[in-house]
Structure 1
């Protein structure tokens, strides 16, 4: 059984990482979320209005529509959240990019739903645990478009081993903001949803080993210029490795110059 990384960062730190990634991009993130919600919700409401029974129970056509688009849109929104958190150049249209992998995104959504449903047949709590077990699947697929459906599910299970409670606590920590959104008639969700999404991406990047916290009091990455009272600063491994390579190159350069001076003397 492969070892996995346990996410020890506090929910406060994960949320802080999310907020930092959204600096000067809150409006952009809200616009992308609006497009996502429009495609998910508006057609369902229209189809229910046109074809649904009079008792308002919903139509089969809207259920089929939801089945077809939820997977690709979940993948697209995962891609959008990853781009926001990693501060890549992107556009709000990225929420639709999941349709480029329509078959795989649809298949992943169906398989996940079946697994969660089967666990729910036992009891509600096993179903909730299963939902958290598979919660990273679309982020994994977004990072690895060629990965197989079952491979994405197995990878999510591996990464979430020992991390499900942390993810639950992270989601629970947004409950206050969710209550405030009720008083805004749901409009606040346009900002809360991307905030939650990028915070989950922070969790995901730490769990996959590509992100770590710079702290003065541990051995992850000791930065002398950071004081213990300051908030953690994150750094991607490749960036840290690049810094180390630059330091090594400088050391080699100085060493060569020292040898040349000795030869001349």
Structure 2
């Protein structure tokens, strides 16, 4: 199992890369997340209004807005993954906010995986809370894996993406859990010191960097071949990424075997 010092060092690197992006391109991130902030305010004020008026009929609309917001964040995470890989750019942030809707397979696949992961996590939670949390951590990278396959023209099922996420997170669940805990203080700071418009992109970029690192490690396994997506080593967060789209980044990727991808 990974040494605690190594995990702390990796966590520092992920956060340092994210801060580098935020410090140099804050307005990009502000506009990138602007639709999410607007939807969040709409949901918040809507809940207050419905509670005061005892009108619960609008709850379905609020749930729909929350779902749309979650899907937008997933698409934004795709953008941030590309930035960390050095295959994205900092242009057209508002347009990039709707990445999840720019491609039907992104939208449908993400929606299906949200539902399936939610069901599986809930079923595990029926046993005990802890197994549910563990499985939630294990399935956390499924949508990103699914998207990588799509971008490389490779077929993958929803259940297969979940399985690959579980295997990818083997040995990394505690690291991911601790990284989540490390943002609790930042969340509290949003109340009195630091605005959420900085912390939320910082947190999401950090988790995108985490996935990029894990996916890159999967391709560095020396033995065997796997059928998983071929990815690149993460770029330095302080470097200006290229403007090359992900779809054209892997034209000659060589397929590998499941054993290597899922170690």
Q: TM-score range by the shorter chain?
A: 0.5 to 0.7
Decide whether aligned partners of structure 1 residues 132 and 58 sit closer, same or farther in structure 2, where only a CA change above 3 A counts.
Answer: farther
Distance in 2 between residues matched to 1:238 and 1:202, nearest whole Å:
8
Cα pair 1:69 1:106 within 8 Å, conserved: no
Distance in 2 between residues matched to 1:211 and 1:151, nearest whole Å:
16
| Total equivalences in the alignment | 207
Match of 1:91 in 2: 92
User: Which of 164, 172, 177 is residue 173 of structure 2 equivalent to?
Assistant: 164
Match of 1:151 in 2: 160
Q: Encode CA deviations 1:223-263: one digit per residue, 9 max, x unaligned.
A: xxxxxxxxxxxxx5499xxxxxxxxxxxxxxxxxxxxxxxx
Distance in 1 between residues matched to 2:210 and 2:131, nearest whole Å:
22
TM-score (norm 1): 0.66
Q: Encode CA deviations 1:93-132: one digit per residue, 9 max, x unaligned.
A: 2221112332222111111111111122222222221221
Match of 1:18 in 2: 18
For the pair shown, the structure with the greater C-alpha radius of gyration is: 1
TM-score (norm 2): 0.66
Give, in angstroms, the shift of residue 49 of structure 1: 6.5
Q: What is the RMSD computed on CA atoms of the aligned residues?
A: 3.1
Match of 2:119 in 1: 114
Residue range with higher mean Cα deviation, 141-150 or 96-105: 141-150
Q: Report the 3-state secondary structure (helix = DSSP H, G, I; strand = E; otherwise coil) of the residue aligned with 1:135.
A: coil
Cα pair 2:121 2:135 within 8 Å, conserved: yes
Match of 1:252 in 2: none
Q: Report the 3-state secondary structure (helix = DSSP H, G, I; strand = E; otherwise coil) of the residue aligned with 2:200.
A: helix
The within-5 A match list for 1:1-265 is: 8=7, 9-39=9-39, 41-45=40-44, 48=47, 54-55=53-54, 59-62=58-61, 64-66=63-65, 68-70=67-69, 72-87=71-86, 88-89=88-89, 90-92=91-93, 93-99=95-101, 100=103, 101-145=106-150, 147-184=156-193, 188-209=195-216, 236-237=232-233
Cα pair 1:133 1:164 within 8 Å, conserved: yes
Distance in 1 between residues matched to 2:63 and 2:125, nearest whole Å:
22
Cα pair 2:85 2:212 within 8 Å, conserved: no
Give, in angstroms, the shift of residue 205 of structure 1: 1.5
Distance in 2 between residues matched to 1:94 and 1:188, nearest whole Å:
22
Q: Greater relative contact order: 1 or 2 (C-alpha under 8 angstroms, separation 6 or more)?
A: 2
Give, in angstroms, the shift of residue 141 of structure 1: 2.9
Q: Encode CA deviations 1:42-75: one digit per residue, 9 max, x unaligned.
A: 4434655776783476734225514752553243
Structure 2's unaligned 5+ residue stretches are 1-5, 220-231, 236-263
Structure 1's unaligned 5+ residue stretches are 1-6, 213-235, 240-265
Distance in 2 between residues matched to 1:91 and 1:116, nearest whole Å:
36
Match of 2:3 in 1: none
Distance in 1 between residues matched to 2:135 and 2:192, nearest whole Å:
31
